[in-house]
Structure 1
Amino acid sequence: MTKLLLLIDTMFHFDREVLKGIKSKVDEYQLKFTITIDSIEHAEDILSQHWDYVIADFDKGDRYRVIPRLNTNILIFSGYRIQNPPESVSTLVNDNDHFACLALGQFMQNDIENVAFYMEPRECNTGWATERLECFEKHANELEFKYFNDIHEAIALRKFPLGVYCATDRSARKLVNFCIERNVEVPKQVSIIGTDCDDSENAISAIPLSSVNHDPYEIGQRCVEVLVKAKRLKRIVHEKYQPVSLIHGKSTITMESQNDIVSKALYYLHNNFHMNIKVQQVVDFCRVSRRTLENRFIACKGVSVHQYLSDLRLSKSKKLLRSSHDSIESIALQCGYPNLSYFYKVYRKQFNYTPLEYRKGTMA
C-alpha cells in the first residue's frame, strides 16, 4: 500500500479542513493511499520510516530540520512566499497579491479612495500576515489610493469612507467591535474585509463579515493535485493558490449589481491602464467570456469595459497635464496611448480641444 504522510496539526480548524480536502481528492483520484498524520516535532520517528508521498504545512514546526531529509515525493504548502524552499520539493503558496486584488477591487466598486490594513498584534510576527500587509500597501499605492499606515488615526480623523483589509477574519471581527464602540458606522463609514471566511469568527461577529474566500478545503485538494502533477511530469512543480471570490457579508456595502468579476476587472484596469492594453486582456485576466464580463461590468458601472478604460486614461492624463511638468508625449505614453498623434486625436474627438490647450487653460 502506498503511504502518504501529512505533517499538519489537526488541533487547528484550518488544518482539519485541509485534511478533508486532501481526503476528498485522494478518493476522487481513487488513489490507494494509507494516510498517516504526524507532527514534524517527531522527527526521528518520521525519518526512520519510508514514505511514498509527503504533504507538509511549511508554516509550522522545525521544517528545515526534517523536510530536506525526506527523500521522496514532497509537497509543502504555505500562507506566503517561500524564499528558499528545500531542493526537490514542490510548493503551493498563497498568492497574497491576488488577495489584495480582490479587496481593492471591492473598494473600487464602492468608490472608496481611503484605505488601510489591519492585523492583530499577535499576527505581526507571522509571515502570511506581514506579506498580506506588504502586498496590500504596495498595490494600494500603485493604484493611487490614499493609504493610511495608522488605521486608528485614520478613524479618529474621520477619513471616511475608509476601506480596511484585514489579515484574518479574527482581526476583521475585532475591528468591527472597535468601530461599534466608537459609534463609527460599518459599512457606511468604514468598510471591512477579512480573510479566511472563518465560520466561527463570523458566528460571533456583531456584523456578518465580508471576507476573501481563503478555503482550506480547496487548499487540501490543490495539494494533492500538485503532488500528483509533479509525479506525473517527473519534475518539481511550484504553484500559487488564488481564491476565486470574495464572500459578501454586511461589513462592506454590497448591491445586487456588484460582482467579483467586476472587482478583478477594475483592479486590472487601474493597474495596467498605462500600458496599451485591450479589452481582451481584461477578459483573459478575469477568466470569463467577453460577453459575461461586459454584461456584468455594464450592470455594475453603467458603461462598457472599453469606455471605462477610455475614461480612466483621460482622467489620469488630465491630472498629469495639470499637476506635472512631464512632456505631453511622456504623459500620453504614461496613460497608455500608443503615440502623441493618437493622444491629440482622442482629445480633439472627446473634448474639441488639444492636450496642450488643456494644460495652458486656453480651451475655446
Structure 2
Amino acid sequence: MNKLLLLIDTRFYYDREILKGIKAKIDEYQLKLTIAIESIEHADEILSEQWDYVIADFDKGDRHRIIPRLNSNVLIYSSYAIEHPPESVSTLVNDNEQFACLALGQFLQNDIHNVAFYMEPRECNAGWANERKQTFDNHANRLEFKYFENVKEAIASRQFPLGVYCASDRSARKLVNFCTERNIAVPTQVSIIGTDCDDAERSISPLPLSSVNHDPYMLGQRCMDVLLKAKRFKRVLHEKFQPASLMNKKSTQEEINQDHIVNKALYYLHNNFHFNIKVQQVLDYCRVSRKTLDNRFIKCKGVSVHQYLATLRILKSKKLLRNSKDSIESIALQCGYPNQSYLYQIYRKQFDYTPCEYRQGLNAM
C-alpha cells in the first residue's frame, strides 16, 4: 500500500481542517493510502523511510532542511509566495492578491474611499502578513483610494468612514477592541475586515468579524488534487489557492443589502473600466448571468451594472478634466472610451455640453 507523509501540526485547528480536506479527497478517489503525520523533530526517522507522497506546510521554517532530501512526490503549501521552492517540488500558495481584491471590493460596495491596512506587532515579521499588506497597498493605490499608512493616526484624525483590512482575524479583533474602547463606531466610522475566518478569534471578538473566507478544508482538497495531477503529468506544478468569498458580519455590515457577487464585480469594474471592457467581461469574471448580476446590482446600488460602469467612466473623465492637462483623446482612452468622438457624444447626450466646454467652464470660475 502506498504511503502518504503529512508534515503538518494537528494541534492547530487550521491544520486539522487541512487534514480533513486531504482525507476527503483520498476517500473521493478511493485511494489506498496509509497516512502518517510526523513532526520534523523526527527527521532521521522520516528520511530512513520511503514515502510515495508528501504534503508539507512550508510556512514552518524547519521544513526547509528536510523537504529537498525527500525522494518522493512532494507538494508544499504556504500562506504566501515561495520565491525559491526546492527543485522537483510542487507548490500551492495562497493568492493574497485576491484577498486584497475582496476587501477592496467590499469597501467599494459600502462607498468607503479611505482605507488602511493593519497588522499587530507580532505579525510584522511574518511573510504572509507583509505580502497581504503589499498587495493591499498596491491595489488601493491603483484604484485611487486614499490610503493611510498608520491606522491609529487615521482614526485619531477621524478620517471616517475608514475601511481597514487586517492581516488576520486576531489583528481585526484587536482593532475592534481599540475602536470600542475609544467609542469609535464599527462599522459606521471604521469598517474592519480580517483574514482566515478563525473561529477562536471570532468567538471572542466584541462583535462578529467580517473575514476573507480562506477555507483550510478546501485547501487540503486542493493539495491532494495538485499532488496527484503533478504525478499524473510527471511535472512540477506551481498553483495558487484563491478564497471562495468574503464572510460579511457586523464589523463591515450595517445595511441588509450586502452581496459578495456585487463586491467581486465592483472590484473588477474599478480595476478594469479604463480597458474599454463590456458588461459581458464582468459577467465572465463573476460567473453569473446578466439577469442575476443586474438584479443584485439594482438591489445593492440602485442601478444596473451597465449604468454603474457608465457613471464610473463619466466621473473619472470629469476628474481628469478638472485635475489634469491631458488631451481629450488621452482622457477618453484613460476612461475606457474608444476615442474622443465617443466621449463628445456621451457628454452632449447627457449634459448638453462637450468635454472642452466643461473644462473651459471650470477654468472660467
Q: Shorter chain as normaliser: what TM range?
A: over 0.9
Q: Secondary structure at the match of 1:211?
A: strand
What residue identity is the alignment partner of 2:139?
H
- Which residue pairs with 2:250 in the alignment? 250
Q: How far off is 1:104 after superposition? A: 0.7
- Matched residue, 1:266: 266
| Equivalent residue, structure 2, for 1:345 | 345
Contact 2:188/2:254, CA 8 A, preserved across alignment? no
**Does the CA contact (< 8 Å) of 1:119 and 1:166 recur in 2?**
yes
Q: Which amino acid aligns with 1:322?
A: R
- Identical columns (%): 74
Return the TM-score normalized by structure 1.
0.97
Query: Following TM superposition, by how much is the alpha carbon of 1:269 offset from its aligned partner in structure 2, in angstroms?
Result: 0.4
* Cα deviation, residue 362, structure 1: 7.7
Q: What SS is found at the alignment partner of 1:100?
A: helix
Q: CA RMSD in A?
A: 1.3
* Alignment check: 8 A CA contact 1:4 1:36 kept: yes
Cα distance, 1:189 vs. partner?
Answer: 0.8
Deviations 1:183-210 (A, max 9, x none): 1111111111111111111111111111
- 8 Å contact from structure 1 (residues 328, 356) kept in 2: yes
C-alpha distance after superposition, 1:78-102 (max 9, x if no partner):
1011111112211111111100111
TM-score (norm 2): 0.97
In structure 1, how many angstroms separate the alpha carbons of the residues matched to 2:234 and 2:280?
Answer: 35
Choose 146-155 or 285-294, whichever is displaced more. 285-294
One-letter amino acid matched to 2:218: E
Q: Helix, strand or coil for the counterpart of 1:87?
A: coil
4+ runs deviating over 6 angstroms: none
- Where do 1:1-364 residues align within 5 Å? 1-361=1-361
Contact 1:248 1:254 in 2 (8 A): no
Distance 1:55 1:136, change over 3 A: same
- Return the offset for 1:42: 2.7
**Alpha-carbon deviation of 1:254?**
4.1
Contact 2:170 2:201 in 1 (8 A): yes
Please tell me whether the aligned partners of residues 40 and 61 of structure 1 are also in contact (alpha carbons under 8 angstroms). Answer: no
SS for the counterpart of 2:86 is coil
**1:41–1:61 Cα contact (<8 Å) kept:** no
- Shift of the alpha carbon at 1:299? 1.3
Distance in 1, Cα, partners of 2:291 & 2:91: 35
Contiguous gaps of at least 5 residues in structure 2: none
How far does the alpha carbon of each residue in 1:18-51 deviate from its partner, in whole angstroms, 9 at most, with x for none? 1111111111111111001112343222221111
The residue type paired with residue 51 of structure 1 is W
Name the SS of the counterpart of 1:208 in structure 2.
Answer: coil
Count of aligned positions: 363
SS at match of 1:253: coil
User: Aligned partners of 1:351, 1:250: CA distance in 2, in Å?
Assistant: 40
Aligned residue for 2:66, secondary structure, equals helix
Give the Å deviation of 1:271: 0.5
SS of alignment partner, residue 17 of structure 2 = helix
Local SS of the residue matching 1:274: helix
